[in-house]
Structure 1
Amino acid sequence: MVDTTSASLKSLLLGLICGGKMPQRKGLENHTAGPAFILLGFSDHSSLRGLHFTVFLLIYLVVLTGNSLIALITVVDSSFHSPMYFFLRNLSFLEICCTSVTPKMLVGLLMGDGRISFLGCAAQLYFLVLLGGTECLLLAAMAYGPYTAICDPLHYSLIVSRGLCVTLLVRSGMVVVAVQVLQANQVFTLPFCSLDLHHFFCDVPPLMELACADMFWNQVTLYTIVLVFVVLPFSLIVLSYTKIIRAVLKMPSVVGRHKAFSTCSSHLGVVTVFYGSAAVFYFKRGSRDSVDTDKHLALFYTIVTPVFNPVTYSLRNKEVRIALKKLLWTK
């Protein structure tokens, strides 16, 4: 019964991502155990594998703990039941899920085995880009709240309602699901000349580098998706904050200007690191000499940014710090 259920789940995932097709492996037909990619990751620094494992495990635990506390506070404390904290709660949830999609990196560092099955790689890629794309749109939606609060404060409660927040979140997820199914299908029906993946996890550009086929349309698809989910949302955020800065500079109160800039800087800092590293990574068609640079860029938007979220939104926010103390120390 368990084997039948497992086989059904695998068939369903294969059908969703690549129409049930196994990868074409030009020159790799002798692999009878089934296709498996090799995540090389930090293989060039095997002597530091233990140090890398310890560092990334600590980062992962910080991400889980910090974002879980933020999500919990915004649920149990009624004073945080506002649109801004609704988005923050969902951002924390996305950060936890996004970081948890890549545990194979920790297993590889611990065991020294970077193998990942085709099915596992396909699932990892799909959920990573799904969560990342949703986060891109969510960060853009989060900029709408401060913009309305500062530029049109009298109508803030009418415009930024809970219904609007839920609608934006649901529609963002629906759009990303459809687009990422198409992209995952396009990537995993490619003929692969090699299964040695020079990365920590399965991502689109590193996988495309292994293909022995004309990649023109794949690159067009990739760049179009990056434009829609990275460049366009970031441009809207920049436009929103340009108007916010103009409005803040017109405030007569120095204290009011300082509070407004402090509130906006947290969100702006997170989006700059996230969008900046993601855009450079996906737009940059790296050569073999830039593999290490690509790896470090990927670490920024998958691991470093989730750490920034609880730090910028809690340690810099007095209300969140007070609520956190009550949650942890109140009997």
Structure 2
Amino acid sequence: FRNICNDWLSVCEWRKYSSPMEASLITNDTDQQTIDNLFRAVEENVGTYQRYLRLKAKLMRLPKLGCHDILAPLPDAPDMKFTFEQAKDLVIRAYASFDEGYAFAVKDMFQRRHIDATPRYGKQHGAFCAGWYNGKTAYVLQSFNGRLNDLYTLAHELGHATHDYYCYRNQTILNSRVPMVVAETASIFGELLLTDLLLKEAKTDMEKKVVLCRILDGAGRVIFSVTSRAWFEQSIYEAIKRGEYLNHETICKYWVAVRDKAYGDTVEWFNEMLSEWSITPHYYMANFRFYNYPYVYAQLFVYALYQKYMEEGKAFVPKMEKILSMGSSISPVEIGKIAGFDVTTKEFWQIGMKQYEHFLKELEKITQ
């Protein structure tokens, strides 16, 4: 890890990058000011995440969460199981609740049987959506086992397919490669549409708790934990520039400092988690520095879009369709302007935080 970071600083010097992050900024068509403001907004809202983690400890009937409890299911939670047909119906209805025409891609994917969802021996693990530009469609890989997480994965991957359908019909192939910071737009939006539908149709408060914890666990992990990884990378490069020797203990010290900035004192960590940084595969990929913040950008960008949708209702539909149709023909800053946002400011990122806090307040309301 130390050698990879040292090597990257040499590459940055040779290529005259102003910082170790600049290459990723170019790749994502964004700038340092925007990302700095994103990080500031996250740092100012760590208290919201810690508030959720304390509430989850209460729901888990624990004095404090262990690191193994952060994403754990609630005790006594109902076994929310879905057949593939039920999942299909829910996802279609969720997308159609936004706009009937918006659900076209999802319906078409099912009709064409472009979703490989059957678990089987030897099948690759995970989920992925692969777009096919010439066919103006996409293919989804998933192993559907009927769990709530599988339902969300299906809604997420079909969001990527929806993005492909709009982009491929409006852009040349040269403008169809969307930067990571906005590549999750339709997928996370689809998760939010599904969440609203599940909350609306939940039969008990416990079902609502399960759904809300699922969204707060996932989004919290992305917004706060993944930002910690970006802070960690920044601190490591600064340490190397100061001439500090990075042995295992020193690297762990930097990791724990940024981890605790996000989690505070809400979690009891195993001693082994001092080395958690060492199992993040992206740190070891050649020429792939700062993989992390695009996911944070994407999460809060879409949460802000959803706030705008809640405010404008159906008037937001053409704006969303235009956003998905742009591909990489315009920058993420210009994509934000379609919805009336200036993504370069800290105030913009606070709007996305409001959506996360909205879910937390809903959970607090039914927990009282």
Same fold flag (TM > 0.5): no
> Normalised by the size of structure 2, how large is the TM-score?
0.28
**Structure ranking higher in helix proportion:** 1
> Normalised by the size of structure 1, how large is the TM-score?
0.31
